[in-house]
Structure 1
């Protein structure tokens, strides 16, 4: 028997620098998304690299539910590893240190997809797209 998810909407509040909110708003507008939809999608997309052992459905960026693993697994190890190298890290410094490997993996994946002619980058359109079959 599968566990039921609470699909009701709740508010999540966070604080970011004004320039960052402006960038997110502009990017959301480019994608024809609401700011809430944009942030939710980006958070879920970012979580994919940290959540091992979940199904694709549980990691779906369209899902409004967020799964919080109590053991933290790999993420806890990454945080502890970064923190052992210095005394104090700001949120932004810690986030940058932890997400660096995701950026590297994304870059390598995009390069591979471009080499196989699955994805192409268009400077004119400002982004990546699937190559038409």
Structure 2
């Protein structure tokens, strides 16, 4: 089985979104000088960072992990309640909302936040965009091999 970084074979992924959402993504990709495909890959990878599941602890790390898990559970419960409140607020605006409408209402600021953050990181020379490599990288990462 190949590792995530070494498998370069490309596969097609299809999804259906409302026309307004596709147009918004296209405009944002154009602003960033990216193709729509690269824009979506970047957005998906950025979103996945918040959903990664850490490796299970072993041996001596278990006690520390249990303590951290307890704290994380409390934080997770608080975040869960905050998210539930956002869902309630989005639903209170209208009698019915489709899945796509709810998703748009709950994620409408992520594009703006990412754009602002990337601009800030580029301005402070912490991040660079490479058209040649089709993505962003940490500044000073030039020793990475060409793909």
Higher RCO (Cα < 8 Å, 6 or more apart):
2
Which of these two proteins has the greater Rg computed from alpha carbons?
A: 2
- TM value normalised by structure 2: 0.46
Structure 1 or 2: larger helix share? 2
- TM value normalised by structure 1: 0.50
